[in-house]
Structure formats: C-alpha cells, structure tokens
Chains A and B, each alone.
Chain A
Amino acid sequence: MIPISVFIAGGWLTLTVLAAVFAPLVAMDPYAGGPDALLPPLSPAHWLGTDDLGRDIFAETLFGTRVSLTVGVTTAIAGAVIGVAVGAAAGWLGGVADAALMRLTELFQTLPRFVLALVTIALFGPGLAKVIVVIGILAWPQTARVVRASVATLRSAPFVEAARVGGMPGIALVLSEILPNVAAPVIVLAALDVATAILLEAGLGFFGLGDPNLVSWGAMLNEAQQYLRTAWWMAVFPGIAIAATVLAFNRLGDALNAATDPRGRGR
C-alpha cells in the first residue's frame, strides 16, 4: 500500500511542474516592479503581497520553480550519468583502475560542496549554466559507490557469467545485463540528489551567486533578509516553496527506496 504522504508529495511536485510550465499564463510578470512596494499578503491585486520594488511575490515564487526544477533535475541526471559511468567502470575493471577511480570518488566526496560551489561561481561569474555544471560535477560520488558495489558483485553472477561465456563483449554486458540491475538504487539516489541540488542552488542564490537575470527562491530570500523587520512575507513564501519541494523529493526518494529495497521496508 502506498502511504498517503507519497500522494501528497507527488501532488505537490505535479503542481510545481505545472507552475513552472504555465507560470506566464497564471501570474503577472515577476520582473516588472510597480508603484505598490512592500504590500502585505491578501492585497486585492497581489495575493502574497509585493517586494521592495513592488514586484508580485506570487509571480516570483511561481517563476522561481523554473530555476529550482531545472537545476535540480539536470544536475541529478548529470550526477547519475557520471556516477554510473565511474562506478560501472571501477566495478567492472577492478584492480588499479578501480583503486584510482575510487580514490577520485573519495576526493570528490571529501570536497566541501557548498563552499567549493560558492568559490567556483565567484571565480567564474554567475549564470544558470555554470550553477548546473558546478552542482552536477559534485553530485556523483555516492551513486558511483553504490553502482561500483553492485557491479562488482554482479560481475560473477551466473547470468552474467553465462553471457560472458556466450561471447558478449564487456561494454555490451555491462549495459545490457548489469545496469538494469542497479537502476533502482540509482533512481532513488537521483531523487534525493534533486532535493540536495535545490537546497544548494537556493544557498548560492542567497549568497547572491544565482543567475542575476532569473527569479529564484534563493535570490528572493537574499533580498528578504534586509526587509525581515518590515516585510516578513518576502521571506516566508519562497522558503515554504523550497521546503515543500525538497520535502517532496526526499519523501519520493524514501518511498522508492522502501518499494525497491529487497530487505523490505528498509530504514
């Protein structure tokens, strides 16, 4: 039986995707300021109020889904692809290649991701593409470890042995026989990585290192910091959006893990 919280999480994520796609149809221009600055929520024209430049908070929050989802999903996919490639290579090749690749994985796992991302963006200049590249490059080590462990054990499994005897070359064997078997944990990790990436991106935005031309939740919170005393709504709504979206991805990842974990309910 699927727990109700999973439905809620799925429902929220569906809403977020819809918001990202149809934001221009539903909300006004999030970049256009107006004469009504710092209006509180439930104002007739601005449901969630306005910020210091008179921009509509509802519109900004709605458009903010675009950056969060784009960064979250693309970096998770990038992390999964790199992780599977490194992990499969290490597990399949074994020996020196394995040792070298795992040391590399360890190095990347040791790096303090957020600080490194901050410094890198500060050096290279802000921009959505750069944010995606930096977070994506840092997102793969755990996937690599999991895939390596599975591939290393599957390498000697009877069905793989049989295919090898049947004359299948290594790469084809890894792709067709082994990877489907590690798909479940990789997808689970990817779902959790989306959540982590959204939090990282929000942190970068809060440090003023997001894309200056796009609305993002982190950047909204950065601006809200100066207006905490006068306009609490500037901080409350984007924060709720981040928390709910991260929560939903985490919940989905945990549920997937519970559903695919052969040990039953898992942790």
Chain B
Amino acid sequence: MRAAALGWFVLRRLLHAVPLLFCVVVLNYALIASTPGDPVTVLVGDFPAPAEYKTQVRHDYGLDQPIPVQVARYVTRVLHGDLGYSFANRQPVLSLIAGRLAATLELTATALGFSSLLGIALGVLSARRPDGVLDRAVRGLATAGYALPEFWVGQMLILVFAIWLGWLPSQGAHAIRGVAPGWAGIADGVRHLILPALALSLRYLALIARITRGAMLEVLGADFILAARARGASERAVLIGHALRNAAAPVITVIGFNLGFILAGSALIETVFGWPGIGRLLFDSIGSRDYPTMMGILLVVSATVVAANLATDILHRMLDPRVG
C-alpha cells in the first residue's frame, strides 16, 4: 500500500517536471530566436560554414516557417537528443558534452559529497552546544565561506598550495605526460582533484553547515527529543537517530536545489584549474562563439537541475511518511 502511494507520488511529480522541462526547451529557443541578427548564426555558430549547410539548417529548423513551427521543430530535435553540430570541435554537440561529462561528474560529485558530509557533521556538532567554541567557529566559517567567490578561492588555493608550497598541481585532471598506469595514475588523479574540489566545495560546505545547524536546533527543542532522552537514549542516538532524521528534509532540499549552482560553480572552477569538463567546454565555446555548444550545455544543465529537483522531492517523500 505504501509502495503504491509512493508510485503515485513519483508519477505526480513526473507530471509536474515534464512540462517544466518542456518550458525550459521552449525558453531556450526563445533565446535563440530573439538574438539580434540571423538565428541561423546561433544554430550553426560563428564559423565560416558552407552555404549549403546553412541552407540545410535553415530548412531543418523551419526558419522560413511561422514561429510555432520553428518552436515545434526545435523542441522535437532536442527531445530526440539532437543538440546540433559544433563546427569548432567538428563533433555533434551531444557527443562533445558526453565526452566531457565524466570529468565534470568527478569534480562536482567529489565537491558535493565532501561538502555534504562535512557540512552536515559541522552543523550537527555546532547545534549540540549552541554558542560554544565550535559553534562560533562554524558560524564564522559559514558566513565567510558563503561570501567568497569560488573562482577566487581557487586562485588563492593555487597560489598557496601549488605555487608557494609546491605541494599540489594546479592545472588539468592528470599529469601532462599522460595517465600513468595502475595506482600511480589514481594517486596522480587524486592529487589533481584536491584543489579544484576544495575550491568548489567551500560555498556549499558553508551553506549546508548553516542549514543543518538551524534545522537541528529547531528539532532538538522538540518534545520527542525529550521523550527519547527519558528512555535513556544515548546522545548519539538522539542526535543521529532522531534529530538528524527530522532535520534531514531541509538539508536534503538545500543540497538538491543547489545542484544547479554547483554545476555553475564548476564552470568557473574548471576554467581556473584547466579541468577538462563541461565548464571548461562552456568557457572555450564562448571564446570561439560556438553557439550550438553553449546552448547545448545550457540545456543539459537545466535538465540536470529539473531532474535533481525531482529526485529531491522523491527522496523527501521517502523520508517523511506524512508528505502526501
């Protein structure tokens, strides 16, 4: 019965997310169509493409047809996975992005995992003794961390740990001479990952610690916490088993809804650290006026955000039996 209810919930959220995704695609086309000049430039990119190719694109996207037809063709193509062709890279945009996906996932997942784990831990510990030494330190860190531009943090990390101390590499995902085999290669990858992941984490670490602390403080004042203590539950059981479980909803919401921001931050961080991911691709495509790639990345990032929000809602529902 509960499984069925969950199924209905997922279905309802899907029915909510799909139109949203549709709107995002339409909005994307609106952006293309409202660009000054010929929209075909945007669909091809600022590249001396052969005239017959431009004619072909003009025909494929129905640029000589009324607007609704244009929108319909664009949406249909996107939904079929056709994000256009990048002349600058001589590759379809989708496979171009797919090729860079792993690097970006490695960076963002590391940063998100690190900031979530440490942020939740710091939030829980600082809520345990409000106004204690640790709490003050965490609050200070959270306030400062949330104000620092992540790309500048990246530059400062490079300055200190790569240039002055010489401990860690500052550019790329692995040594220039290539990926070494076996453990050496993995160790090298980790060494390259540390600084960019740290720079990307700081803002989310601050945010997650702050939200966790607030949510924990609210829950720790609840009657059922007192009841658990009256049963002899240990401090650990009270903090993790009851308080954190009840505080999880806002924390998960913040983590999930910030996924888009961490992708955006990744664009900046990848640029600072020469990380071969989607963000770096975005930076390069802006430099070379490779519009199809830019639009493709915007679409992929938007879709990821919609999917992340959907996943957050479902996770939230699974954690709280009261959500209908």
* Contact between A and B in the complex (any CB pair below 8 Å): yes
The reply to whether the CB of A183 lies closer than 8 angstroms to some CB of chain B is no
**What does the 1/0 interface line of A226-267 toward B look like (CB < 8 Å)?**
001100100110010011001100110000000000000001
Which B residue's beta carbon lies closest to that of A209?
A: B286
The reply to whether the CB of B295 lies closer than 8 angstroms to some CB of chain A is yes
Residues of B within 8 A of A221 (CB): 149, 151-152, 155
The reply to whether the CB of B283 lies closer than 8 angstroms to some CB of chain A is yes
Q: Which of B90-124 contact A (CB under 8 A)?
A: none
Query: Which of A115, A199, A208, A242 is within 8 Å of B298, CB to CB?
Result: A115
The reply to whether the CB of B214 lies closer than 8 angstroms to some CB of chain A is yes
Q: How far is the CB of B212 from chain A (nearest CB, A)?
A: 11
Residues of B within 8 A of A118 (CB): 267, 282, 286, 294
Residues of B within 8 A of A199 (CB): 149
Query: Which of A110, A242, A251, A267 is within 8 Å of B143, CB to CB?
Result: A251
The reply to whether the CB of B220 lies closer than 8 angstroms to some CB of chain A is no
Residues of B within 8 A of A172 (CB): none
The reply to whether the CB of A147 lies closer than 8 angstroms to some CB of chain B is no
Residues of B within 8 A of A208 (CB): 286-287
Measured in the bound complex, the distance between the Cα atoms of B203 and A247 in whole Å is: 12
Give the interface of A toward B (CB within 8 A). 103, 106-107, 110-116, 118-120, 122-124, 195, 199, 202-203, 206-209, 221, 224-225, 228-229, 232, 235-236, 239, 242-243, 246-247, 250-251, 267
The reply to whether the CB of B36 lies closer than 8 angstroms to some CB of chain A is yes
The answer on a CB contact under 8 Å between A228 and B267 is: no
Residues of B within 8 A of A119 (CB): 31, 294-295, 297-298
Residues of B within 8 A of A111 (CB): 24, 27, 302, 305
Q: A110-B306, A114-B264 are in contact. Are A206 and B158 (CB under 8 A)?
A: no
Give the interface of B toward A (CB within 8 A). 20, 23-24, 27, 31-32, 35-36, 42, 143-144, 146-149, 151-152, 155-156, 158-159, 163, 170, 210, 214, 260-261, 263-265, 267-268, 271-272, 282-283, 286-287, 289, 291, 294-295, 297-298, 301-302, 305-306, 309
Query: Which of B24, B36, B283 is within 8 Å of A207, CB to CB?
Result: B283
A–B pairs, 30, beta carbons within 8 Å: A107-B23, A107-B27, A110-B20, A111-B305, A113-B264, A114-B264, A115-B282, A115-B297, A115-B302, A118-B267, A118-B282, A119-B295, A122-B294, A123-B294, A124-B35, A203-B151, A203-B264, A206-B149, A206-B151, A207-B267, A207-B271, A208-B287, A228-B155, A235-B159, A236-B156, A239-B156, A242-B152, A243-B148, A246-B147, A250-B146
Give the dominant DSSP class at A's interface: helix
Give the dominant DSSP class at B's interface: helix
Pick from B35, B155, B263 the residue with the most CB of A within 10 Å. Answer: B155
Q: How far is the CB of B111 from chain A (nearest CB, A)?
A: 16
The answer on a CB contact under 8 Å between B149 and A243 is: yes
Residues of A within 8 A of B297 (CB): 115, 119
Q: How far is the CB of B40 from chain A (nearest CB, A)?
A: 13
Measured in the bound complex, the distance between the Cα atoms of B59 and A133 in whole Å is: 33
Pick from A110, A124, A229 the residue with the most CB of B within 10 Å. Answer: A110
Residues of A within 8 A of B146 (CB): 250
The answer on a CB contact under 8 Å between A228 and B163 is: yes
Query: Which of B152, B271, B302, B309 is within 8 Å of A243, CB to CB?
Result: B152
Residues of A within 8 A of B23 (CB): 107
The answer on a CB contact under 8 Å between B286 and A124 is: no
Which A residue's beta carbon lies closest to that of B211?
A: A267
Measured in the bound complex, the distance between the Cα atoms of B291 and A3 in whole Å is: 49
Q: A110-B306, A232-B159 are in contact. Are A120 and B31 (CB under 8 A)?
A: yes
Which A residue's beta carbon lies closest to that of B163?
A: A229
The answer on a CB contact under 8 Å between A235 and B286 is: no
Q: How far is the CB of A192 from chain B (nearest CB, A)?
A: 10
The answer on a CB contact under 8 Å between B264 and A224 is: no
Measured in the bound complex, the distance between the Cα atoms of B143 and A251 in whole Å is: 8
Measured in the bound complex, the distance between the Cα atoms of B272 and A208 in whole Å is: 13
Query: Which of A123, A228, A242 is within 8 Å of B42, CB to CB?
Result: A123
Residues of B within 8 A of A106 (CB): 20
Residues of A within 8 A of B260 (CB): 110, 112-113
The answer on a CB contact under 8 Å between A206 and B268 is: yes
The answer on a CB contact under 8 Å between A224 and B155 is: yes
The answer on a CB contact under 8 Å between A250 and B143 is: yes
The answer on a CB contact under 8 Å between B155 and A239 is: yes
Residues of B within 8 A of A235 (CB): 152, 155-156, 159
Measured in the bound complex, the distance between the Cα atoms of B286 and A93 in whole Å is: 42
Measured in the bound complex, the distance between the Cα atoms of B196 and A261 in whole Å is: 38
Measured in the bound complex, the distance between the Cα atoms of B271 and A115 in whole Å is: 14
Query: Which of B149, B287, B298 is within 8 Å of A116, CB to CB?
Result: B298
Q: How far is the CB of B29 from chain A (nearest CB, A)?
A: 12
Measured in the bound complex, the distance between the Cα atoms of B21 and A110 in whole Å is: 9
Q: How far is the CB of A260 from chain B (nearest CB, A)?
A: 17
Measured in the bound complex, the distance between the Cα atoms of B132 and A4 in whole Å is: 19
